[in-house]
Amino acid sequence: MHREVSSSLGRDTLRQFASKNPIFTCIISYTATSEIPGITIAGAAPEMIQYTSPADAEFLYYGRCKCIGSVPATPDGKPTPALITRTALRLGNIPALVIDAGSKVKPSIPLISLGLSPGENIELRDAMPPSDVKQALDHGRVLGKELAKLSDMVVIGESIPAGTTTALAVLVALGINAKFRVGSSMPVSPHELKNKVVSAAMKRAGVKAGDVGSPLEAISLFGDPMMPAMAGVAEGALSEGGKVMLAGGTQMAVALSVLKMKGIPMKRLCVGSTRYIARDRTSDLPGLVREIAPQVPLLYCDLHLDRSSKPGLRAFAEGFVKEGVGAGGASIAAMLGNQKITGRKFLNALEKEYESSIEAAFESKASS
Amino acid sequence: MHREVSSSLGRDTLRQFASKNPIFTCIISYTATSEIPGITIAGAAPEMIQYTSPADAEFLYYGRCKCIGSVPATPDGKPTPALITRTALRLGNIPALVIDAGSKVKPSIPLISLGLSPGENIELRDAMPPSDVKQALDHGRVLGKELAKLSDMVVIGESIPAGTTTALAVLVALGINAKFRVGSSMPVSPHELKNKVVSAAMKRAGVKAGDVGSPLEAISLFGDPMMPAMAGVAEGALSEGGKVMLAGGTQMAVALSVLKMKGIPMKRLCVGSTRYIARDRTSDLPGLVREIAPQVPLLYCDLHLDRSSKPGLRAFAEGFVKEGVGAGGASIAAMLGNQKITGRKFLNALEKEYESSIEAAFESKASS
């Protein structure tokens, strides 16, 4: 077993989630909550935020974006985590399907639609109607069943700007003490701003922390369309006898709480993330998972980005971006599925991918 | 090997296309050509035609329809061929994904969108812009590659009303003598009406039989969005080393002509249909396949519907419906993949499915 991959519940659980034919899915979505100034660094300018998820999805398939002319990276070269995901999928020859749960801009790819609208700004109104929560769960479940017939492990990643803020709101509404424990794409999570948004949303809805008993109701009030879609796909795949990896950061806690509430057996379920999230001092994914579903292992992998020659990649180890687009889960799936994909090999491939996409685009921009 | 399944190129080809983990896909689409009176019996009333494909798609997953209140059957009980497809998928535990290539009404299921608009009435205007033909091919190809990583055989069915008329128009434009050789859901194909529509369309576009050199141009002028989507998915899957079965009737000839024009190797490609199409005296699928791609075997299966106790199912053997929604291909995939699925077992399961969906709905309607 790779030294790069660890598990919160011991190395035996790694063996359980090793798969020769995993399938990777990424749920792209949108919440107008992301339009609150300062809440996300996804998207260089405010009007660009809506392009974040579709750009990620296009990058997965093409290694470049069609919906935006620019590179999916900050001006100083910190790339989208989709770069890691794409590297993992290519190294592991892992098939990928993108699921649309209410993204605002549609990527130019074949896209599995769940027929959902974007989520609302939770400061101003309910996130989504209960009928949309139900449809996300129902359609997700139908899809998850089919995916589990195709593969013994379904990895479910996500891309939604401001998703940690809506996750915080849902967890707090459910009475889970999540304040100062959700992640961020910034080195220091803007916890105060997130808490303020959550307080405003709860005041709007007239509820207090712990007032909401049902995760589905909490999602309708304060969540986003990604959440029930992820829970639905997971439930469907588990019900078909498949293994499931929720691939991401603290937002996974919401999907866990839905599955727990529904009484879904979680023996074949894990969370997969990067070490940069699992060991993050500004958030607490391990604690949240333990609190909601102690039997579910948190798998995480060390991508050795601190050793990279590329400052843009080293930034991940320094607290920027850290996770997203299922980067950690895809890397774990690739490594556990094939012993030949060592940490060194992965880093080499990642740097090559960085050169051919991000650096090449910066150079052609500079020379034009 | 099952006696129920035959091949135009000998029984050895059956072994080649036996798969333990096939995936079934169904492309749903629409052409306004279907609004020409008398051109299709899909849809009981003219305004119902647009619901045909989404109703088929919903029936595949749920065994009932959500977008229409009624049963997907003619008033006298002749069911949609999706009944056969659903039976095959369930018996064979074959995963299914539905691909939307410009359907007008969207089914309430998770749906892989290729981002296409419905096709136009070819009597009145071009079927679709060349950019849509290209997008269907491109997105189809991306999807086909991922599907071939998941499964060693991709079965591609279709549901589009009036699809044989647009197929006829494309084939004639390409100089393939297809008049009086395309199939129909009616016992006697309304060849005269179809020929009239094709003549009107060609007059509108100012071209004569055989004038159009490129299948892609012919599709843009006279085809429908299903055609390039099917060719794209097939090309993607073949390029990834997968096997592909084009599952349907005479419309498959169009996809074959696209693949041939593009120079795609066809060694791992077959056409799969029902015996009711392969032996149909009012159309000529075997001849069309032989003419366009003589190396591609036509597989077909005998579902023994003539022996059914249900008049609605016996109608298939008497020339009604005959094929559609990939019914023949799905049945072949189920039978070749599992020797235990005998003809008798299949017919029993089909009759049970008929009772629990079509008959039950008729009864509840009668008693309400």
Q: pLDDT tens-digit profile of A104-156? A: 999 999 999 999 999 999 999 999 999 999 999 999 999 999 999 999 999 99
**Among A97, A131, A235, the residue to mutate for chain B (most B Cβ within 10 A):** A97
Which residues in chain A have their CB less than 8 angstroms from residue B150's CB?
Answer: 21, 23, 95, 150-151
Chain A residues with CB-CB distance to B149 below 8 A: 93-95
Residue A365, pLDDT score:
78
Q: Both tokens of residue A88?
A: 């993992």
Position A43 pLDDT exceeds 60: no
pLDDT at residue A48, rounded to an integer: 87
Q: pLDDT at position B1, please? A: 57
Cα–Cα distance between B146 and B306 in angstroms, integer? Answer: 39
CATH number of B5-362: 3.40.50.10210
Task: Count Cβ atoms below 10 Å from residue B262 Cβ, excluding itself.
Answer: 12
Q: d(Cα B309, Cα B198) in Å, to the nearest integer?
A: 39
Q: B109 and A140 in contact by Cβ < 8 A?
A: no
Instruction: Give the HSE-up count for residue B157: Cα atoms under 13 Å, Cβ half-sphere.
Output: 33
Report CB contact under 8 Å: A111, B112. Answer: yes
Instruction: Determine the pLDDT at residue B77.
Output: 84
CB–CB contact B146 A21 (8 Å): no
CA distance A323 to A277: 7
Lowest mean pLDDT among A77-86, A182-191, B297-306: A182-191
- Which A-chain residues 265-284 have CB contacts (< 8 A) with chain B? none
Tell me which residue of A325, A252, A309 sits closest to A286, measured CA to CA. A252
Cβ atoms of A142 and B110 closer than 8 Å: yes
Picking from B149, B151, B153, B233 by the largest number of A CB atoms within 10 A of its own CB, the best residue to mutate is B149
Chain B 141-200, CB below 8 Å of chain A: which residues? Answer: 142-143, 146-147, 149-151
Question: Cβ–Cβ of A139/B109 closer than 8 Å?
Answer: yes
Query: Between chains, do B100 and A93 touch, taking CB under 8 Å as contact?
Result: no
The CA distance from B61 to the nearest CA of chain A, in Å, is 8
- Cβ distance of A110 and B112 shorter than 8 Å: yes
Question: How many residue contacts between A and B have a Cβ separation below 8 Å?
Answer: 69
Q: Does A86 touch chain B (CB under 8 A)?
A: no
**A1 band by pLDDT with thresholds 50, 70 and 90:** low
In this complex, the residue of B106, B108, B139 whose CB is nearest that of residue A109 is B139
Beta bridge partner(s), residue A274: A301
d(CA A217, CA A254): 12
Residues of A in contact with B113 (CB under 8 A): 100, 106, 110-113
Of A21, A23, A110, the CB nearest to B114: A110
- Chain A residue with the nearest C-alpha to that of B143: A110
Q: Which residues of B touch A110 (CB under 8 A)?
A: 99, 112-114, 139-140, 142-143
Q: Has residue A2 got a pLDDT over 80?
A: no
High-pLDDT (> 90) share of chain A, %: 87
Q: pLDDT category, A208, cuts 50, 70, 90?
A: very high
Question: What pLDDT does B114 receive?
Answer: 98
The DSSP result for A53-105, as a single string, is HHHHHHHHHHSS-SSSSS-SB-TTSPBPTHHHHHHHHHHHT--EEEEEES-SS
Q: Say yes or no for a CB contact (<8 Å) between A142 and B112.
A: no
Distance from first CA to last CA of chain B, Å, rounded?
A: 47
Closest residue in B to A113 (Cα) is: B111
Answer whether A112 sits within 8 Å of B111, measured CB to CB. yes
- At A77 the pLDDT is 84
State the pLDDT at residue B157: 98
Nearest residue, CB atoms, B95 vs list A93, A99, A150: A150
Tell me the C-alpha distance between A275 and B17, whole Å: 44
Contact with chain A for residue B109, Cβ under 8 A: yes
In the 8-state DSSP scheme, what is residue B358? I
Is A23's Cβ below 8 Å from some Cβ in B?
A: yes
pLDDT of residue B76: 83
A100 vs B contacts (CB less than 8 Å): 113
CB contact under 8 A, A111 and B108: no
Give strand ranges (E) for chain A.
Answer: 5-7, 22-29, 96-101, 111-113, 153-159, 243-247, 269-274, 298-301
The predicted pLDDT at position A44 comes to 56
Residue predicted with more confidence, A284 or B72: A284
Could you give the 3-state DSSP secondary structure of residue A5? strand
Query: Is the Cβ pair A112, B112 closer than 8 Å?
Result: yes
What is the structure's pLDDT at B81? 96
**Residues of A whose CB is below 8 A from B93:** 149
B136 contact A CB<8A: no
pLDDT of residue B186: 84
In the numeric block, the tokens 């039950």 are attached to B360
Contact B99 A110 (CB under 8 A): yes
Asked if A95's CB is within 8 angstroms of B142's CB, the reply is no
A353 in Cβ contact with A73 (< 8 Å): no
To which residue do tokens 């009668």 refer? Answer: B366
Return averaged pLDDT per consecutive 10 residues of chain B, 368 residues in all.
89 95 98 93 74 96 91 85 98 98 98 98 98 98 98 98 97 96 86 96 98 97 98 98 97 98 97 96 95 98 96 93 95 96 96 93 80
pLDDT of residue B47: 82
Angle, alpha carbons A149-A153-A158 (nearest 5°):
110
Nearest residue on chain B to A21, alpha-carbon basis: B150
pLDDT of residue A76: 83
Choice among A77-81, A285-289, B139-143 with the minimum mean pLDDT:
A77-81
B86 to chain A: which residues are within 8 Å by CB?
none
Provide φ and ψ at B103, rounded to 5°: -70, 150
